[in-house]
Structure 1
Amino acid sequence: MPPSPTADRPHKRARLAAILDARDAEAILLTAPENLAWFFDGARTSVPYGGAAVFSAIVRRDGSAVVTAPANEAARLAEEEVGGAEIRAVDWYADLAGAEPGVLHDTDAVEELRAARAALLPVERERYRALGRETARAMTAVLRDARPRTSERDLAGELARAVVAAGADPVTILVAGEGRTQVQHPLPTRTPLGRRAMAVVSARRHGLHVSLTRWVRFGGGAPDTERAIREVEADAFAATRPGRELRAILSDIAASYERHGLGSPSRPAWLAHHQGGPTGYLGRDPKAGPASTARVATGQAFAWNPWAPHVKIEDTVVVDDSGLEVLTVDPAWPTVGVRGVARPVELDLS
């Protein structure tokens, strides 16, 4: 039986209709995976992880949708992914992005669609909570079995296996042993973990991305800068309030690094690595930059990414008027309270 549209679909139709009204268009052509997954309630849009979408869709003002797909994908999409849409099968080599006159292309409405995706709807939020909880628990289970002799690649493989077993896509898997914890994006190698290691996972399910970072150690203590990076993150959380522009939040984060003794005016620490930003149907939606004028929406997901050599902290949260909710939580992981929010600390496996 083909999947049925969720209770969120009418609200998504209304958001698209508002874009069409503003652009004086009768329909919109969706081609980007993030837009297709959003509108079609978390449909799996690609075959390779992170690949291009294998279908497109024209959505009209009344919410009716026509999906164009290669003939070799059409039946699967109809049966497993795309609910409430007419399917138009074409040859596998045909252009999926051709639009009719008067149809707005999603590539010409990037910011409007990003804003439409931002505020999570009830079904999305429940799915997000479940994904965050399951990913965090899977990460705990894998990391508890790590040993100093475990290679970065072996640990990455176990993390990827756990993510796939949870019905999610392993979008990003990073692992750094003790000799590589100064690397911003440590793609795993054959190197053993040694006495201390970092693991980063981004997982996608129903189109939604969660990101989290965890550390383990085998005796010894955490770096002195671990507390400082938690304070930077707490400042990022405090700065992320509905209605604020991303560039203003990033400015607050930049000042926080220096205030907490990380970096200096001549070597600003925030420039050493991106700081993350909004998330949802993209891992970074968008990555926050000094020119980012997008504003925080109530009910929007964020994954801030404070980093300094040998320390990093990251979880996926949802921001509301009353505060924030951390999605990627496993009660079994050790935490410390930071301004009223439980934050992860290094798991000592000695």
Structure 2
Amino acid sequence: MTIDSTPDVRAGEVAAKLALLRETLAQSGAGAIRLRGLDWVSWVTAGGDASVQLALDSGAAEVLVTRDDAVILTDEIEGERLRQEQVPPGFTYHIAPWAEVELRETYVLGAAAGGAVLTDRPNHVDQPLPASLRLRRMVLGDAEQARYRALGRDAAAAVGEVLRAARPEWTEFQLAGAAAQALWARGIQPAAVLAAGERRLPLFCHAAPTHERLGGRASLQVCARRHGLYANLTRSLSFGPAPAGQTELLQVEATGLDAVRPGNSLAAVYHALDAAYRHANRPEAMRLHHQGGITGYAAREIVATPSTATGLETGMALAFNPGFAGIKIEDTFLLGAGGLENLTLDPHWPSATVQGRVRPLWLENP
């Protein structure tokens, strides 16, 4: 996946992020910052992708930042591909033979010049990044928001395309496979694809697909990743009338979304949803599944709990997934100055307007 943004735009984004990291170095007195995870590498490279195996938390490169340099740490297998296709200007490279991993560690120690190494994936030697830096990562800049909008549109189109084509005789594996294919065709990594048919929908919140046939109903939940960002959405299909309860759920969700305002905490959203479930006589729903939270460079950066004091800020992305009795709803929103912008809105999907927001209904396909 190459990035459509011009090199100048990405280089400017990288420069601002490196300045933030060097500010952290100055405040902490550390010698270097070592970013290991795919999430942080994508963030600092303005959407570069170091992944090879989707199931791994780390990829083909790390990034080492000192007061004077920003270095891509990789090997001879990956170096040139990353340079040509993923990493924008602003970085130098330390490329070591793949079989001599100790050379990377020696290089990091030398670059830190005796100072501490801060990292997103600390071990018994390195120190963790400050929490303030992680919070700064969650406030997305203009270029990140533009990438997110494009991702959201494409992910929603992929899911809608697949559910319109689905048939009762399909298995859950076929539905999930078709969704993965539609995402890949748009340059999107299917980081998670959950699919459930009529029988399993009300039984499991995270219904990993099986060979069971869909039957009368089906639901797709996806975490779709491109340029390091995650678009999370859920859509449902009924071969006949939609189940009762979706109007009730939309009101629960609307109460939660109304609480998503700059200055409010994630805990405030949790408590709003909890109260809405109780009002709908569904108090058990809050216990049976988490409700989502802040998203961005992780499918869930922070999950909302009764005590999550993290404050919401303009520029954050959020995905909440309320549900009960096999009925679920989820989209990815950007919190802007004018309120919530639905990044995964599909204008071709059946919808209803609830408290001023266009929300997806079940697709009824007879």
Q: TM-score scaled by structure 2?
A: 0.89
Are 1:257 and 2:277 counterparts? yes
Instruction: Name the SS of the counterpart of 2:71 in structure 1.
Output: strand
Q: Structure 1 residue 103: deviation in Å? A: 4.4
What does 1:272-287 align with in structure 2 at a 5 Å threshold? 272-287=288-303
| Counterpart in the other structure of 1:37 | 42
The runs of 5 or more residues in structure 2 that have no matched partner are 121-127
| Counterpart in the other structure of 1:197 | 218
Would the aligned equivalents of 1:175 and 1:186 in 2 still touch at CA under 8 Å? yes
Which residue identity lines up with residue 305 of structure 2 in the other structure? G
Tell me how far apart the structure 2 counterparts of residues 312 and 113 of structure 1 sit (CA, whole Å).
33
Which residue identity lines up with residue 64 of structure 2 in the other structure? I
Would the aligned equivalents of 1:29 and 1:103 in 2 still touch at CA under 8 Å? no
Would the aligned equivalents of 2:242 and 2:363 in 1 still touch at CA under 8 Å? no
Instruction: Name the SS of the counterpart of 2:59 in structure 1.
Output: coil
What does 1:188-337 align with in structure 2 at a 5 Å threshold? 188-223=209-244, 225-263=245-283, 268-337=284-353
Q: Structure 1 residue 17: deviation in Å? A: 3.2
Instruction: Name the SS of the counterpart of 1:255 in structure 2.
Output: helix
| Counterpart in the other structure of 1:105 | 118
Q: Structure 1 residue 59: deviation in Å? A: 1.5
Q: Structure 1 residue 9: deviation in Å? A: 2.2
CA deviations on 1:290-313 (whole Å, 9 max, x unpaired) are 342322121110011112121110
Q: Structure 1 residue 110: deviation in Å? A: 5.5
| Counterpart in the other structure of 2:91 | 85
Q: Residues 191 and 334 from structure 1, CA distance in 2 versus in 1: closer, same or farther, beyond 3 angstroms?
A: same
Tell me how far apart the structure 1 counterparts of residues 248 and 19 of structure 2 sit (CA, whole Å).
44
| Counterpart in the other structure of 2:33 | 28
| Counterpart in the other structure of 2:60 | 54
Q: Structure 1 residue 116: deviation in Å? A: 1.8
Tell me how far apart the structure 2 counterparts of residues 66 and 184 of structure 1 sit (CA, whole Å).
42
The runs of 5 or more residues in structure 1 that have no matched partner are none
Which residue identity lines up with residue 113 of structure 1 in the other structure? L
Instruction: Name the SS of the counterpart of 1:55 in structure 2.
Output: strand
Judge which range, 14-23 or 31-40, deviates more: 14-23
Tell me how far apart the structure 2 counterparts of residues 18 and 279 of structure 1 sit (CA, whole Å).
25
Judge which range, 4-13 or 337-346, deviates more: 4-13
Tell me how far apart the structure 1 counterparts of residues 157 and 40 of structure 2 sit (CA, whole Å).
29
| Equivalences, count | 344
Instruction: Name the SS of the counterpart of 1:134 in structure 2.
Output: helix
Q: Structure 1 residue 25: deviation in Å? A: 3.0
Q: Structure 1 residue 13: deviation in Å? A: 2.6
CA deviations on 1:174-209 (whole Å, 9 max, x unpaired) are 111000112100111111111111111111111110
Would the aligned equivalents of 1:16 and 1:116 in 2 still touch at CA under 8 Å? no
Tell me how far apart the structure 2 counterparts of residues 9 and 90 of structure 1 sit (CA, whole Å).
24
Q: TM-score scaled by structure 1?
A: 0.92
Which residue identity lines up with residue 283 of structure 1 in the other structure? A
CA deviations on 1:11-32 (whole Å, 9 max, x unpaired) are 3233323323332335311112
Judge which range, 270-279 or 292-301, deviates more: 292-301
Would the aligned equivalents of 1:36 and 1:56 in 2 still touch at CA under 8 Å? yes
Which residue identity lines up with residue 365 of structure 2 in the other structure? L
Instruction: Name the SS of the counterpart of 1:190 in structure 2.
Output: coil
| Counterpart in the other structure of 2:178 | 158
Which residue identity lines up with residue 160 of structure 2 in the other structure? T
Q: What is the aligned-residue RMSD (CA, Å)?
A: 2.0
CA deviations on 1:98-132 (whole Å, 9 max, x unpaired) are 54332442231152332121111111111111111
CA deviations on 1:14-71 (whole Å, 9 max, x unpaired) are 3323323332335311112111100101111221014122211112346x31111122
Candidates 19, 30, 34, aligned match of 2:24? 19
